[in-house]
């Protein structure tokens, strides 16, 4: 009987465990559409259709952007974003936000309120609770520690503004247009906040950017390491990474993930081939070959005044060629190398002239220069703000790419998942900023361009305008009027400008113009133009000038000009009558010399107005500047109704100025060709 009771109890326990598992699985399952999604890529391409063809790319959304997921098709989520825009994104880079938070009490663990209170007592802001409660029920062995840093999130993001880059084509995210490398650009603090806000990373696939690298160093197995390398280049070096872990006392999953993140899992990656100089032709600055050296973590790999290429400098560091030139000696093979006997042993077991030396030596560097100094999470290696760091805040940051800790953290999560180690006792050190808003930071995907492309006064663009110059404090404008009309055009169509319109000169003949440009994201730029009126000594109109030029005009056509007339002659006629003139040809190219041709255009300016005329040279019907048989044929065709002359060509063909093109005009052109007359 006792045996039967025991079996019954075991049966009930199993049934209860199954039911609890089902209940918990239902809690963690992805919600049905629609659900709130969180972009977990660095900058995820949005397509107009459910495919990945380049011509369907619409924009890019940065890490931390929330979207509404309404369906899926062909591995793509259909989303709405930016209030009402619709697009498609890869479903590999969208976290189900709704399924990753939990505020409902789960039977068998602490109530939500009790657990949240315990988190707050440890220093966490209450806005962390809904994320950590979910992770607590899912992984009860995990421990979360708060590091309350000395900055607001906004202050920290501003301090990082010129220290981090993002791979993105979305210009709204750029700090400026400065191109760094590839598609990498420095980004604005309003975007950096979404990457630095820890709450955007409190999902199981992202949280390993906060894992304590010191306390987790013994949590690994071969399956975790093989998960990172797959069949890639690093699969050849599993033993070396395990040796590094033992030798240096460091987490092998961390260093192997770092190596993969830096590109070493690709056998053709220049830093690990051992054939850099022979394949690229690049050497150290001294001209020494970089073949035979390795750098699995890209340590020292950045461009500087001596090195234009990052890998080139990293291999020079690996070889010891950054040291004084007197430290180099020629070996038996005729190759220069660093001499320890002359200058002492290099740090971290350099030169790294074998893959294993590079793997172990690089691990020493990471352990000694980062983890032991308080940068003991991926997050703190990128954003050096830990209260217990021995280094100056915002300095000594391992990587420039702002997405690196999230990307490496995801790789570590997948490795531990494949090794069935996610239920191990991991500790996560998570920063908490001062005065945190309950609203999680999202990148601002709005243009910050608050520049003007032009300013006009009475429809005339002000001279020497520069979009970045905001003050014009002594701008003289010739006018006899008491008022001026000010106009402006923005560089960005989404920006707005105020302050345009009519301004009245004061008693001193000065008008103070202020134009405020507001960008889509609210940025403002104020342009100031102090306009000083200069009254014209004499009011000369274009009509006054033309009436004294000895030419004929009809609307916008100027005719009555003899063939062979030089451009300078006509311009001088305008100048002699106190005007200004410029001439362009029929293709609108400037014309300052040579003979006038029908179709040329002259712009004449008086003191208060200007006007452009199209020139008709007498007899030059085809506009080549000379009178030939071709002009005769065109006039003949017109007379026979085979090809009508219009515009300036009609005026050029009307050689006797009677208002029509007839046989008399044909005879005059013929006489010109035969040299009997000069039109």
Q: Report pLDDT digits (tens) over 83-102.
A: 889 999 999 999 999 999 99
- 392-400: which pairs have CB atoms within 8 A and are 24 or more residues apart? 393/150, 393/159, 394/156, 394/159, 394/160, 394/163, 396/369, 396/370, 397/163, 398/370, 400/163, 400/164, 400/165, 400/180, 400/184, 400/302
C-alpha–C-alpha distance, residues 261 and 637, integer Å: 76
C-alpha closest to that of 472 among 482, 480, 464: 464
Mean pLDDT of 654-673: 91
pLDDT tens for 287-341 read 999 999 999 999 999 888 999 999 999 999 999 999 888 999 998 888 899 999 9
Q: Is 408 helix (H, G, I), strand (E, B) or coil?
A: helix
**Residue in the structure block whose two tokens are 């100027």:** 558
How confident is the model at residue 22, as a pLDDT?
A: 31
- Is the model's pLDDT at 261 over the cut of 70? yes
Q: What is the 3 state secondary structure string of 282-343?
A: CCCCCCCCCCCCCCCCCCCCCCCCCCCCHHHHHHHHHHCCCCCHHHEEECCCCCEEECHHHH
- In whole angstroms, give the CA distance from residue 356 to residue 351: 11
According to the model, what pLDDT value does residue 528 have? 94
The pLDDT tens digits for 350-403 are 999 999 999 999 999 999 999 999 999 999 999 999 999 999 999 999 878 999
Of 263-272, 443-452, 641-650, where does mean pLDDT reach its minimum? Answer: 443-452
Assess whether pLDDT exceeds 60 at residue 513: yes
d(CA 309, CA 259): 19
- Written as six digits, the tokens of 625 are 């500047």
Euclidean distance between CA atoms 436 and 193, whole angstroms: 12
Select the more confidently predicted residue: 261 or 14. 261
* Token pair in block for residue 231: 């069949």
What string of DSSP letters covers 204-259?
TTTGGGGB-TTTTTT---HHHHHHHHTTSGGGGGHHHHHHHHHHHT--HHHHHHHH
Identify the CA nearest to 36 among candidates 73, 87, 81. 81
The span from the CA of 526 to the CA of 470, in Å, is 7
Instruction: Say yes or no to pLDDT of 28 above 50.
Output: no
Instruction: Tell me whether residue 39 is exposed, middle or buried, using C-beta atoms within 10 angstroms of its C-beta: 0 to 12, 13 to 18, 19 or more.
Output: buried
Q: What rounded mean pLDDT belongs to the chain?
A: 90
Per-residue pLDDT, averaged over 138-142, amounts to: 97
pLDDT at residue 199, rounded to an integer: 96
Rounded to an integer, the average pLDDT of 236-263 is: 96
Eight-state DSSP code of residue 535? -
Locus of tokens 């999680």: 440
Single pTM value for the model: 0.66
pLDDT at 23 over 50: no
Adjacent-strand bridge partners of 143: 427
* Average confidence (pLDDT) over 416-423: 98
pLDDT tens-place string over residues 625-647: 999 999 999 999 999 999 999 99
Share of the chain above pLDDT 70, in %: 95
Q: What is the pLDDT of residue 55?
A: 84
Q: What is the largest CA-CA distance in the chain?
A: 140
Query: Residue 15 is inside which H or E element, if any?
Result: helix 2-28
State the Cα angle at 487 between 485 and 491, rounded to 5°: 170
Helix, coil or strand: residue 452: strand
Cα 98 from chain centre: 30
Per-residue burial over 112-132, b = 16 or more CB atoms within 10 Å of its CB, e = otherwise: beebbeebeeeebbebbbbbb
- Per the model's pLDDT, the better-predicted residue between 407 and 25 turns out to be 407
- Joined together, the tokens standing for residue 245 give 């872990």
| Edge-to-edge order in the sheet of strand 184-187 | 165-167, 184-187, 174-181
pLDDT at residue 60 tops 70: yes
Could you report the per-residue pLDDT of 610-630, keeping only the tens digit for each?
999 999 999 999 999 999 999
**Which residue from 230, 261, 257 is spatially nearest to 241, judged by alpha carbons?**
257
Residue 313 CB coordination number (10 Å): 24
**pLDDT class for 464, splitting at 50, 70, 90?**
confident
Residue-level pLDDT at 31: 52
């Amino acid at each position: 009987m006792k045996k039967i009771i025991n079996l019954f109890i075991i049966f009930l326990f199993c049934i209860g465990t199954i039911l609890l598992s089902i209940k918990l699985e239902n809690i963690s399952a992805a919600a049905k559409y629609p659900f709130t999604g969180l972009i977990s890529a660095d900058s995820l391409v949005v397509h107009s259709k459910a495919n990945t063809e380049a011509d369907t790319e619409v924009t890019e959304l940065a890490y931390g952007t929330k979207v509404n997921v309404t369906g899926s098709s062909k591995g793509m989520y259909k989303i709405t974003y930016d209030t009402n825009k619709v697009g498609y994104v890869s479903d590999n880079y969208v976290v189900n936000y709704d399924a990753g938070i939990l505020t409902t009490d789960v039977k068998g663990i602490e109530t939500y309120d009790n657990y949240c209170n315990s988190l707050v007592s440890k220093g966490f802001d209450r806005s962390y609770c809904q994320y950590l409660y979910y992770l607590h029920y899912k992984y009860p062995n995990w421990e979360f520690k708060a590091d309350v840093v000395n900055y607001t999130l906004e202050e920290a993001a501003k301090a990082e503004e010129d220290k981090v880059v993002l791979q993105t084509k979305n210009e709204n995210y750029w700090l400026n247009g400065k191109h760094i490398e590839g598609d990498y650009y420095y980004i604005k603090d309003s975007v950096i906040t979404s990457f630095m806000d820890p709450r955007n990373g409190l999902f199981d696939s992202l949280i390993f950017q906060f894992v304590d690298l010191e306390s987790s160093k013994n949590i690994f197995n071969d399956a975790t390491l093989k998960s990172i390398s797959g069949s890639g280049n690093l699969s050849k070096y599993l033993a070396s990474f395990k040796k590094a872990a033992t030798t240096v006392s460091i987490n092998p999953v961390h260093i192997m993930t770092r190596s993969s993140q830096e590109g070493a899992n690709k056998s053709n990656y220049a830093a690990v081939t051992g054939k850099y100089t022979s394949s690229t032709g690049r050497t150290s600055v001294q001209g020494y070959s970089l073949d035979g050296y390795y750098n699995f973590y890209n340590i020292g790999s950045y461009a500087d005044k001596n090195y234009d290429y990052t890998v080139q400098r990293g291999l020079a560091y690996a070889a010891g060629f950054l040291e004084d030139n007197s430290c180099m000696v020629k070996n038996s093979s005729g190759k220069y190398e660093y001499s320890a006997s002359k200058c002492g042993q290099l740090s971290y077991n350099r030169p790294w002239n074998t893959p294993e030396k590079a793997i172990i030596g690089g691990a020493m560097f990471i352990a000694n220069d980062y983890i032991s100094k308080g940068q003991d999470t991926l997050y703190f290696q990128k954003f050096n703000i830990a209260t217990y760091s021995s280094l100056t805040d915002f300095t000594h940051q391992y990587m420039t790419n702002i997405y690196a800790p999230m990307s490496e953290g995801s790789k570590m999560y997948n490795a531990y998942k494949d090794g069935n180690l996610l239920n191990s006792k991991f500790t996560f050190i998570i920063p908490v900023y001062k005065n945190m808003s309950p609203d999680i930071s999202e990148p601002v995907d709005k243009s910050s361009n608050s520049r003007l492309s032009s300013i006009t006064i009475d429809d005339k663009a002000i001279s020497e305008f520069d979009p970045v110059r905001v003050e014009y404090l002594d701008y003289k404008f010739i006018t006899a009027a008491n008022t001026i009309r000010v106009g402006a055009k923005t560089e960005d169509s989404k920006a707005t400008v105020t302050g345009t319109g009519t301004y009245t000169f004061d008693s001193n003949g000065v008008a103070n113009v202020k134009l405020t440009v507001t960008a889509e994201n609210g940025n403002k730029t104020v342009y100031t133009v102090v306009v000083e009126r200069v009254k014209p000594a004499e009011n000369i109109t274009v009509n006054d000038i033309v009436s004294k030029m000895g030419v004929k005009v009809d609307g916008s056509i100027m005719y009555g000009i003899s063939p062979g007339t030089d451009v300078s002659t006509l311009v001088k006629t305008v100048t002699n009558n106190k005007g200004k003139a410029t001439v362009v040809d029929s293709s609108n190219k400037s014309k300052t010399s040579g003979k006038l041709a029908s179709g040329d255009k002259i712009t004449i300016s008086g003191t208060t107005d200007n006007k452009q005329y199209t020139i008709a040279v007498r007899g030059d019907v085809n506009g080549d500047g000379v009178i030939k048989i071709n002009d005769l044929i065109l006039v003949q065709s017109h007379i026979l109704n085979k090809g009508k002359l219009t515009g300036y060509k009609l005026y050029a063909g009307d050689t006797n100025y009677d208002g029509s093109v007839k046989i008399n005009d044909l005879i005059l052109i013929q006489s010109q060709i035969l040299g009997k007359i000069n039109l």
